[in-house]
Amino acid sequence: MASSMLNGAETFTLIRGMTPKGSSFLASDFHGKHIPKLSLIAKPRTVQSIKCSLSATSRPASQPRFIQHKKEAFWFYRFLSIVYDHVINPGHWTEDMRDDALEPADLSNRNMLVVDVGGGTGFTTLGIVKHVDAKNVTILDQSPHQLAKAKQKEPLKECKIVEGDAEDLPFPTDYADRYVSAGSIEYWPDPQRGIREAYRVLKLGGKACIIGPVYPTFWLSRYFADVWMLFPKEEEYIEWFQKAGFKDVQLKRIGPKWYRGVRRHGLIMGCSVTGVKPASGDSPLQLGPKAEDLSKPVNPFVLLLRFVLGALAATYFVLVPIYMWLKDQIVPKGQPI
């Protein structure tokens, strides 16, 4: 079990993050419980009690939420792509968060081959091409509408743009130096399969970096999260990486500045998880057939209902960053919000 795995925490590392105002927080302080033998990147100066995703109960990842299906996600982004860069990202995924989250990916050489899976409109790719030549970067997404936006971006003109499925990547085994995926895992019906694919396509010593949501602890946020899409718990990410075969698994917490480190509402972009491929070849993890068979006919009424309910739940998470921003404006600086 993931929780027992955390108690014997020699096998992964949690990286100390910075709260927006610069005070350090320690990602090991799950619900105020100290985890023994935790290996840290840096020594903390202060330890704050931060509510995070560890002990709240959620539906298992294998029971997808309304939009955690490829068909529903396709239609979701059919419409969302129109406003994505201007309306969605500013509340959840800012440029400074992106740079913070990509730092553990260690994009240290301009000649690296990088795949950006679920790359969408190319917002994260814009961060990648600061460090790596665009001609070496492939953006893959299942949504042609999102990719159409990426194609319009000047710095991404030389990137390869591919339509495809994160759970079944069209790249050979041992292909890339870096695998990056930001904000896409929440739509994968079988996240373990996507992470297994990340392992397969990387070269020996290559690094995967998955940036994604974290599960809320506040009851109302938990309710809407479970209706909308997958908000994994931190220990689930770590377990998926380790099962896929990754070594040196690390999790870095991220969040918008104006949240002042608050994590109880969950975060659409709440952590950056990295792991290194220790041996060439396929992942040691064997999986059965894909959870979602796209060739199977779907009842259009059920699809529409799921889509509408999922999109309504998503609206709640459009409002949360606005609410947090207002609190940040009202509550005196230096006080918890």
Ligand X SMILES: C[S@@+](CC[C@H](N)C(=O)[O-])C[C@H]1O[C@@H](n2cnc3c(N)ncnc32)[C@H](O)[C@@H]1O
User: What does the block give as tokens for 300?
Assistant: 């259009």
Of positions 100, 165, 190, 239, contacts ligand X by CB under 6 A: 165
94: contact with ligand X by CB under 6 A: no
Q: Find the binder of ligand X among 70, 222, 263, 277 (CB under 6 A).
A: 70
According to the binding rule CB under 6 A, does residue 142 interact with ligand X? yes
Using the rule CB under 6 A, is 187 a contact of ligand X? yes
Gap between the Cα atoms of 17 and 177, Å rounded: 25
Nearest distance, CB of residue 118 and ligand X, angstroms: 3
Region binding ligand X by CB under 6 A among candidate stretches 14-22, 34-42, 117-125, 279-287: 117-125
User: Does 188 help bind ligand X (rule: CB under 6 A)?
Assistant: yes
- Shortest CB 45 distance to ligand X, Å: 31
Among 182, 195, 225, 273, binds ligand X (CB under 6 A): 182
| Residue 184 found at the interface with ligand X (CB under 6 A) | yes
Is 167 an interacting residue with respect to ligand X (CB under 6 A)?
yes
User: Is there binding between residue 120 and ligand X (CB under 6 A)?
Assistant: yes
Name the one range near ligand X by CB under 6 A: 32-40, 116-124, 293-301, 315-323: 116-124
By the rule CB under 6 A, 192 interacts with ligand X: no
Site for ligand X in 21-50 (CB under 6 A): none
Q: Does 72 bind ligand X (CB under 6 A)?
A: no
Rule CB under 6 A: is residue 118 a binding residue for ligand X? yes
Q: Does 307 bind ligand X (CB under 6 A)?
A: no
Q: Which residue is nearest to ligand X (CB)?
A: 120
What residues line the site for ligand X (CB under 6 A)? 70, 73, 77, 93, 118-121, 123-124, 141-143, 146, 165-167, 182-184, 187-188
